[in-house]
Structure 1
Amino acid sequence: MAGRALFMRKVMALLSDPMIILLVIVTVLALAMPVTGETRAAMQQAANVAIFVLFLVNGIRVPRGEILRGLANWRFFLPLTVFVFGIMALAGLGLSHAASGVLPPLIALGFLFLGTLPSTIQSATSYTTLAGGNVALSVIGAALLNVIGVVVSAPLFALLGGGEAAADLSSVIVKIGLILLLPFVIGQVIQMRFRPWVVEHKSQVVWLDRFVIALAVFVAMSGAAEQGIVERLDGATWLTLLAFVIAYLLVANLGAWSFGGLLGLARQDRISFLFAASQKSVAVGAPMAAILFPPNVAGFVIAPVLLYHLLQLMLAAPLANWLAAHPR
């Protein structure tokens, strides 16, 4: 009974999470009242500016020392990087091909996009703490993966996507460089001066994250709504999408835990590897999709990302509790 009560508290905490609530609200609003034409174009430009500001702030708040420590501990972080951007990207590619026969092509492509994303820092760290893992490794690992993801995720997606995506690789690199990488580098350069202010106003900065992600999702889902995503996806299609996302979630978690075992990691480090490797970042995915795709495409492509983000949180809480209760 105590275990069930704890699980219900975790579920309620998940459902009351401001980011989850905000994503649900903007998705419903976009599907019910999508912005179109010049209004959507203006909102897209506003989203690009907001994304630039967000990654500038990210560059300020990620300590350079953490990045350097991550690079120094290569025995942990090199396999973690290979798993996230190698194994998981290939798994996403495989699921994308498998789903292409039963899901709309752009949604199927979303599994490849999902596979190339880095992990999310906040939830990877929180669930590592709850499970009794090595928190320092998780913090540094997730931060390092996010830095790498800014550079690697979009070109990797373009290369694995092949065809038109690969042909447009140069334009992808330019967009990512100007809107994601450049502000991050500027943030690193001015970090010494501005980081104390960012740390002091942490609660407001968190809302900046949420606002930018919500704006990117709203513009993308408005484009998808205009293309008839609601009419084109019936109940059976949504259930099929859910099944594929669950399959990918199982591959991510079982694969990360098994890979950590093959590396001979200590249990605390293995827990850190599990959550840093399996959690996928909507904080990177939504802004990146807004840059890479027009809104009428982005809304379809990020559908697996949004669903995975919700389900990974639903799985992570009971999984972390189980690991904490079974230390051997």
Structure 2
Amino acid sequence: MKIDLFIVYLLLSILIAFLFPQLAIYQDGTVLDGITSVGVGLIFFFYGLKLSFEQIKSGLKNWRLHILVQSATFLIFPILVLLFKPFVGAYISEHSWLGFFFLAALPSTVSSSVVMVSLAKGNIPAAIFNASISGLLGVLITPLWMSLFLDFTTENVLLDVYVGLMFEIILPVIAGLFLQKYWGTWAKNNNKHLSNFDKTVILLIVYGSFAKSFDDGIFKTLSAKYLLGLFLAVVFLFILVYVLLFIVGNYIFRFNREDQITLLFCGSKKSLTHGSVFGKFIFMNNPYMGLYFLPLMVYHAFQIFVITFIAQRYHNKSAK
């Protein structure tokens, strides 16, 4: 098992945010916000350049698998976290629970899901379809879920969130699709460099979020006990969803091996890329933004480690 350097860089970005928060709050954060906004637009523009219509069309046929994956992503996850809402105040703080609910409402990952499904010899076209459609559905569904527990009533904040996501995600994707015939080959040939660019923008967003929270003193009250509880809760949520999907896919829908792998890998993962971008708009000017990102970052690291291990096991079995 190799160490994922991106996880190390995430931790370093938090350390830099703690030591040098001034870079993020310079001119009230407008400089860093402007840089990340341009970066996000480019991420999804390049995503549009690389989007494969043929592979998505090929994956359309397996509608039962798609419905179950998207239901897991946008229904099962949020409902499981909602079950713990009555305990807020007594055993769980409002901000901790909201961070977990934000994690639960996010779309699935894109590139890592497809890579892991490919490694495990799963249904790759179905993985591409679900990973692609999940991010687009998330633009609509995630803010709706969050609007149930955040004050989006003043100055029509929910509309502002949708407008922001439209300009930074949907329109760049559409532009990328239109220019795919000119630059699509270039984007695919430079996929590794574009992936590094994506990660750099995410690191800037994470740095800015945590720097503002550190500057406001949000993390001063966090204890080792809290962080341990956070980690255990993340592990519990992942295992619960993974086991549920395994039972449903294997014993109720009776998927074949390839579809079962795609269901498990796509249905149990959450996207740090979309979470970072969505959080910019959903938690705009919220001093607790860094705190809300914590469950997502822990989940991201844990899912990469576990799914990589499981994918390797599947790969080894198929090679025998």
- Above 0.5 in TM-score? yes
1:56 aligns with 2:45: yes
Q: Report the secondary structure of 2:254's partner residue.
A: coil
CA-to-partner distance for each residue in 1:43-83, whole Å, 9 max, x for gaps? 12211121112111112211233333444432221221122
Specify the alignment match of 2:307 in structure 1.
316
Structure 1 position 67 matched with structure 2 position 56: yes
Deviations 1:179-198 (A, max 9, x none): 22121122222222221111
1:202 to 191, 195, 219: 191
Candidates 72, 85, 104, aligned match of 1:83: 72
Which residue among 1, 13, 17 is the counterpart of 1:30?
A: 17
Is the Cα contact below 8 Å between 1:151 and 1:181 reproduced in 2? Answer: no
> 1:278, CA displacement in angstroms?
0.6
Matched, 1:244 2:218: no
**Other-structure match for 2:172:** 183
1:130–1:146 distance in 2 versus 1, CA, 3 Å: same
Partner residue in 2 for 1:304: 295
Greater shift, 251-260 or 95-104, is seen at: 95-104
Secondary structure at 2:106 match in 1: coil
Using the TM superposition, give the Cα deviation of residue 325 of structure 1 relative to its aligned residue in structure 2, in angstroms: 5.5
In structure 1, runs of 5+ residues without a counterpart are 1-9
**Superposed counterparts of 1:217-228, under 5 Å:** 217-228=206-217
Q: Is the 8 A contact 2:103 2:296 kept in 1?
A: yes
Deviates more, 1:220-229 or 1:32-41: 32-41
1:174 and 1:109 map into 2 onto residues whose CA distance is: 23
Cα deviation, residue 109, structure 1: 0.6
Secondary structure of the 2:83 match is: helix
> 3-state DSSP class of the match of 1:174?
helix
CA contact (8 A) 1:220 1:299 kept: yes
SS of 1:302's equivalent in the other structure is helix
Q: For 1:162, which of 149, 154, 159 is the aligned residue?
A: 149
Identity of aligned residues (%): 22
* Structure 2 CA distance for partners of 1:39 and 1:166, relative to 1, 3 Å: closer
| Secondary structure of residue in 2 paired with 1:260 | helix
Q: TM-score, normalised by structure 2?
A: 0.89
In structure 2, how many angstroms separate the alpha carbons of the residues matched to 1:123 and 1:111?
A: 21
Residue 95 of structure 1, CA deviation: 4.3
Moved over 6 A (4+): none
Corresponding residue to 2:280 among 290, 301, 317: 290
Structure 1 stretch 182-191 or stretch 121-130: which is displaced more? 121-130
Determine the C-alpha separation between the residues in 2 that align with 1:148 and 1:171.
Answer: 18
Over 3 Å counting, the alpha-carbon distance change for 1:250 and 1:296 in structure 2 is same
The runs of 5 or more residues in structure 2 that have no matched partner are: none
In 1: Cα distance, 2:88 partner to 2:56 partner: 36
| Cα distance change, pair 58–195 in 1 and its aligned pair in 2 (3 A) | same
For the residue of structure 2 that corresponds to 1:164, the secondary structure is coil
CA RMSD of aligned residues (A): 2.4
